Amino acid sequence: MKNKMYEIIWSGNKYTNSSGRDGFVPFVIVNHISASTMSSMDSWFTSSGNAVSSAHFGVSRKGELHQYVEIERFAWANGTSLSYMSKYPAQVWIDQKYTNANYWTVSIEHEGTDGDLSEEQFQASVWLHQYIRDYIVDKWGQECYFPLDDYHVIGHFQLHSWKEFCPGIMFPWARLYETFQKETQFEEEDEMNKILDYDQWAWDELDKYLGDAYNDQTITDWKWVQAARDKTLVYKDLLLLKVLIDERRRDK
C-alpha cells in the first residue's frame, strides 16, 4: 500500500476559507462525505460566495486527491459547539475540553453520498491519512506522531449532532482501522529489523558487553560480537541477546 504514491493536486484559491491554528498542532483526522461530486467540491470550496465551509482534502471516486487548505492552517470543517453536541462525542473532543475541533484536526472529504467508497477511493484515502500523519511529524517533529486508530481518526458525526450520518452509513470504518493496524504492525517489524543507529562510543560499549558475555560463555556464538564490531547488529537481535544474557547470568 505504501509503495504506491499519489499526486495531490492543489485546488484551493484566494476564496478558500481557512484560519490560523493559534499554536495548535493537528493530531486528529476527521472524515467527511461530500454529498456531491468532486467537481462540486472544487467549485464550492473556491467560490467567492462560500463564507461558511472548507476542507483540507477531497478524495474522488477515482482515487484523485485534491487539497484546498494547507495543513498548517485549519479548514472550516469541524467547528464544534456544545449547543449541537453529537450523540456519540469523540473521546478526543471530550479530552480537549470541547475546544473548537478545527484547531487540532485535519479534514478529508470523500466524494459520494453514503460512504460506500470505491476501491480506488478507499486506497487513496488510506494513503492520504498516512501522508497527513507523516507530514505533521515532518513539520512539527517526531513528538507529534500519532497512531491512526479510532481515537485519532474519527467521523464528522462524532462532533456534530446535525451531521449524524457523516461520513455516511456505509463508510468502511472496520476495514479502515484494520488496514491501519496492519500497517502499524508492519512498520514496527520493519523498525526492529533496522541496524542500530549508534554513535561510536555506544558500539564500543556494546562490543564490550557482548565480548564479556562470550568470554564467560554466556553466549557461545562469536557472530554476535562480530556483528557489533561490523556495526551490523539489528534492534531485534539486540533485544533477544539482552534477554538471553540476563536470564543465563541470573541462573548461574
Same domain, 187 and 210: no
End position of a domain, from candidates 144, 164, 192: 192
Same domain, 109 and 84: yes
Residue 66 pairs with which residues in a beta bridge?
9, 58
Confidence grade of residue 49 (pLDDT, cut at 50, 70, 90) = very high
How many alpha carbons lie under 13 Å from residue 204 in its C-beta half-sphere? Answer: 3
pTM of the model: 0.75
Residue 67 lies in a domain: yes
Residue 215 lies in a domain: yes
Distance (Å) of CA 219 to CA 204, 230, 233: 18, 18, 15
Confidence grade of residue 190 (pLDDT, cut at 50, 70, 90) = low
Q: Structural domain of residue 178, as residue ranges? A: 8-192
Mean pLDDT of 73-100: 88
Q: What is the CATH number of the domain that holds 43?
A: 3.40.80.10
Mean pLDDT of 99-116: 97
What's the pLDDT at 24? 97
pLDDT tens by residue, 140-169: 998 999 999 999 999 999 998 778 889 999
Query: How far apart are the C-alpha atoms of 3 and 33, rounded to whole Å?
Result: 26
Same domain, 103 and 151: yes
Same domain, 50 and 168: yes
Same domain, 237 and 172: no
Same domain, 36 and 136: yes
Same domain, 33 and 144: yes
End position of a domain, from candidates 192, 210, 243: 192
End position of a domain, from candidates 192, 211, 233: 192
Whether the predicted pLDDT of 4 surpasses 80: no
Number of domains in the chain: 2
Same domain, 240 and 149: no
Mean pLDDT of 82-91: 81
- What is the residue-averaged pLDDT of the chain? 92
Same domain, 132 and 245: no
What's the pLDDT at 1? 43
